[in-house]
Structure 1
Amino acid sequence: TENSDTPNILFIVFDTLSAQHVSLFGYQRETTPNFARFAERATVFHNHRTTANFTSPATSSIFTGTYPWTHRAFHLHGTIDHTFAERNMFNLLPDSYYKAAYTHNLLVTSLLHQFGGELDMFKQTRDLCLTDGEFADLLFNNDYSAAFWGESTALRTGATPPGTIFLSMLERMRRFATKSAIDEQYAALYPRGIPNLHNLFFLLEDAIDWIGEQVTTLPQPFLGYFHLLPPHEPYTTRRDFVDIFKDDWHPIEKEPHFSSEGLKQGFLNQQRREYDEYLAFTDAEFGRLLDKLEADGILDNSYVILTSDHGELFERGIRGHVTMTLFEGLLHVPLLISKPGQQNREDVFAHTSSVDVLPTLLHLTGQPIPDWCEGQVLPSFGVDVVENGRSIYGMEAKSNPKQAPLTKATLALVKDQFKLIHYFGYRPDDPEGTYELFDLENDPEELENLINSGHPAEAALKAEMAEKLAEVNRPFQR
């Protein structure tokens, strides 16, 4: 039955959207005028961070309110530990909510398959695509994650060569033919190619139109989780945004990192520009959806949450987010939440984390917050007690075994104005690992590594991180 007194909850998640590129947060280029328009009737979190640098662990933290060391979905194509199959927002929010989800990102699809029993509507990715070559869900729907991983490793190149030379060659030929035909068909509208991921080719406009229809037709109250791929690479913006940032501005050039891919600054700047132009297109499409939400009165009876799973990097010889690093371009993501009927902007500068989203939703819907939840209610949504000196973590451990202590990983700890990063287990000849320490208040670009400079924050942060690592490893010690 519909209950109009209970607000809806609408998630709009844009993949790979770094807050460091959002003009609302002070970025040089005017990438997000529609985010800024939405901000005028929303609560804007200026220091919000994700828990990881790629989709599987980061999105799992939104769903479960836990860090990757707890939900354990920290591998590529990873899934959460089976103990969390019911410890997620789809299960914990009241049954009165109609729960719907859609994503372009097949890594998120793997996670949603784990929660399938709690979803009233789970729209298939291909339904809003022009074409797709996926077959894992068609043949092995009950074992989707394993089948998807098998399909990917057998047929596609990536971090490792494909498992079958002949079939992968046929797959590449098929994909090339498909991509060529679609790119030719849409060349006038998308001169850099059609938005795509692997075998999926889609128009963001179609997904935005569909979401606009759903918010007026879904049973209310609803929980809608819609996770769209742009501005994830390839940065194939629409014609009207091509070259809009062909300007004389150049970002600060940073020293190559020890994990650098060796990419030249000129190439990184070009990629950054194309990303920014894709982001501007993404923002424009969000603006179209915002117009629809306003016209249909959805903002009057809904919490609308605009965020991302992780960011993107164009510095230090690194492009993208498949990296061991946890710089701000990767961890700092937007979070804007519009409360039902909100008319004025609120700004929150306290440190917040994506693990805070679930406890906030539980608080708003009158549900108890489980003791295993590692987040807290977001400022301005609870009792407004902001904990001073709160510690926020980020993590990268895609090479570490799932059910084992973290021995090959990167951890980031943000506390007050400081950020400590620890790389460990990557080199046998470096058992202690490598540290970086930054003063984000005075050095927001993370240019000056304060490690071994005698800074008074170093020892305390190292001790706190070591204690946390020992704590999260304890259940996996043999």
Structure 2
Amino acid sequence: PPPEPPPPEPTAPRYAPKRFNVVFILIDTLRPDHLGLYGYERATSPNLDAWAKDAVVFDDVWAQAPNTPRSMPSIFTGRYPSRIQWVERYANYGSLKPENESIFEVFQAGGWRTEVVSAHWYFERAGGIKDGVDLWDNQGFTTIKESNTQTIAHELTPRAVARIEALSAGEQPFFLLVHYFEPHGRYMNQPSATVFGKELVDKYDSEISYVDKHLAPLFAALDKPGVKEKTTVVITADHGEAFKEHGLYFHGRTVYHEELRVPLAVRVPGVAPRRVPDLTGLIDLLPSLAEHVGLKAARAQGRSFLPALKGDALPARTLFGEQLPYPNYQTHMVGVVRSDGLRVVRNVTDNVTEVFDLKADPKEKTNLLGADPAAAEDLRQALDRFLDADPG
């Protein structure tokens, strides 16, 4: 009989990069705890829930900013908002300097075709955001006010499906970002959405159900033979949404959990579904996706979560989130969370610091500094160092 093949070298990496296509679905303002796959009791997301059964789902994911103009550049560059090169940092819709390296530029330089399907005014206003994109289809946007009130998912999905079909027919690998603006406010009474009630939170859930309905044809396109086996799919959000958990509605005001926690599900061909409990940030997406296909993102501040796709635990870490002042809202807040569930939130403007134990107090209601002035001293010092290193 022929000799048995030798065992693999023990130093061989557990994760072998492949030139997969990447479809990155970014759903605006989507809280994880309002989705069935994260235990929500309302049927807001049946299509997403079913799709996620075939994916790696991350359970402890934090955005680095509570609003789109800070979070999206952070996602795209893999850097904290205060560490991005801004043309003008103190602006409602800041533009990016050319020296930033975005996820589009990394993939484009590696030989991928880079495209985006969206429909929002922000992408026309924020200079530099389109660097590295071969084709950005942002048709349907008008003014900021109209962008925030128009209903677009039913038009966006067919456009995204058409691009997936066209790109999949070619030989070149592709990176496609699809941005759904719903469930961002204003919450509209979508005719095809599930009605949950009349309160703001009910209308928010209806918006989620509307997006979920229009994800179904997108998932069908991604499941077709010739597409599914060579395409990695990522679904996440840029930030969450507040419903007076800390006195405010909507987002872009604080760094509490309701504004920063987001869903993250990743489906990779050949990788078994599982849950990942380890602390993860949206700044991890660029280094992870780059490494996933054999590219490098040297300037990203996040870390790769690829070991988690194979079932390995990710090392303990600290992760920051920032509410940088802008003309529409002047308060400066910074938060830090650690893998053990300890969290520090500081209102820099008012010089107020809070410490929370997320394992015992996930809603961030009890400030531990009241009973123990020395609580989380090392983590508070880490926050001090982060602020001291802010280039301003």
Aligned-residue offset at 1:103? 2.1
Give the deviation of 1:239 after TM superposition: 2.4
Match of 2:112 in 1: 97
- Higher gyration radius (CA): 1
Deviation, 1:40, is 1.2
| Aligned twin of 2:341 | 417
Residue 393 of structure 1 corresponds to 320
What letter corresponds to residue 210 of structure 2 in structure 1? F
C-alpha separation in 1, matches of 2:303 and 2:113: 25
Deviation at 1:297, TM superposition (A): 4.4
Aligned-pair CA distance for 1:298: 2.2
Q: Deviations over 1:283-315 (max 9, x none)?
A: 121123112221354221111010111111001
Q: Is 1:13–1:227's contact at 8 Å kept on the other side of the alignment?
A: yes
Deviation at 1:230, TM superposition (A): 0.6
2:15 matched residue in structure 1? none
What residue number does 2:82 align with?
A: 69
Alignment of 1:10-409 (within 5 A): 10-71=23-84, 75-84=91-100, 87-93=101-107, 94-111=109-126, 113-114=127-128, 116-123=130-137, 125=138, 127=139, 129=140, 133-134=142-143, 196-198=146-148, 201-218=150-167, 219=170, 220-243=172-195, 245-246=196-197, 270-315=199-244, 316-323=246-253, 325-342=254-271, 344-370=272-298, 372-378=299-305, 379-381=307-309, 384=312, 386-388=314-316, 390-399=317-326, 409=332
Cα pair 1:103 1:109 within 8 Å, conserved: no
Distance in 2 (CA, whole Å) between partners of 1:76 and 1:449 is 31
8 A Cα contact 2:31 2:263, kept in partner: yes
Paired with 2:241 and 2:129, the residues of 1 have a C-alpha distance of 28
Partner deviation per Cα, 1:138-191 (whole Å, 9 max, x = no partner): xxxxxxxxxxxxxx7xxx7xxxxxxxxxxxxxxxxxxxxxxxxxxxxxxxxxxx
Kindly provide the CA deviation profile for residues 29-58 of structure 1, in whole angstroms up to 9, marking residues without a partner as x: 222222211111111011011000000111
Residue 457 (structure 1) shift: 3.9
Moved more, 223-232 or 67-76: 67-76
Which residue in the other structure is 1:262 paired with? none
Residue equivalent to 1:472: 390
Amino acid at match of 1:36: D
**Secondary structure class of the residue paired with 1:12:** strand
Q: What secondary structure does 1:348 align onto?
A: strand
What TM-score do the two structures reach when normalised by structure 1? 0.71
The letter for the 2-side match of 1:444 is: P
SS of the equivalent of 1:438 reads strand
In structure 1, the residue matched to 2:4 is none
Contact 2:28-2:179 within 8 A present in 1 as well: yes
CA drift of 1:24 comes to 1.3
Residue in 1 that maps onto 2:10: none
Question: Using the alignment, how far apart are the partners of 2:270 and 2:311 within structure 1?
Answer: 20
For residue 14 of structure 1, what is the amino acid of its counterpart? I
- Say whether the 8 Å CA contact 1:59–1:108 is kept in structure 2: no
After TM superposition, the score normalised by the length of structure 2 is: 0.85
What letter matches 2:152 in structure 1? L
Amino acid at match of 1:376: R
Deviations 1:362-404 (A, max 9, x none): 211222341x32100014258946212x00110001238xxxx
| CA shift digits 1:56-111 (9 cap, x unpaired) | 11111111010001115564211234431xx1111122442111012223223444
CA distance, structure 2, for counterparts of residue 437 and residue 319 of structure 1 = 22
Matched, 1:7 2:38: no
Q: Given that residues 50 and 353 in structure 1 are in contact (C-alpha distance below 8 angstroms), is that contact kept between their aligned partners in structure 2?
A: yes
Residue matched to 2:6: none
Q: CA RMSD in A?
A: 2.5
CA contact (8 A) 2:252 2:323 kept: no
Q: 1:434 to 1:348 in 2, by over 3 A?
A: same
**Does structure 2 retain, via aligned residues, the 8 Å contact 1:216–1:296?**
no
Aligned pair partner of 1:442 in 360, 364, 387: 360
1:222 aligned partner, one-letter code: F
Whole-angstrom distance in 1 between the partners of 2:78 and 2:200: 33
User: Which segments of structure 1 move beyond 6 Å, counting only runs of 4 or more?
Assistant: none
Distance in structure 1 (CA, Å) of the matches to 2:38 and 2:283: 21
The answer to whether the Cα contact below 8 Å between 2:85 and 2:99 also exists between their aligned partners in 1 is no
Shift of 1:115: 5.0
Q: CA deviation at 1:454?
A: 0.8
Distance 1:68 1:284, change over 3 A: same
Does the C-alpha gap of structure 1 residues 133 and 62 become closer, same or farther in structure 2, counting only changes over 3 Å? Answer: closer
The DSSP-based 3-state class of the residue aligned with 1:311 is coil
Aligned 8 A contact 2:28 2:237 in 1: yes
- Corresponding residue pairs, total: 364
Classify the secondary structure of the residue corresponding to 1:414: strand
Aligned partner of 1:96: which letter?
G
Cα distance 1:110–1:365, how it changes in 2: closer, same or farther (>3 A)? Answer: farther
Quick one: distance in 1 between partners of 2:313 and 2:41? 33
- In structure 2, the gaps of 5 or more residues are 1-17
Q: Secondary structure at the match of 2:199?
A: helix
- The residue type paired with residue 207 of structure 1 is L
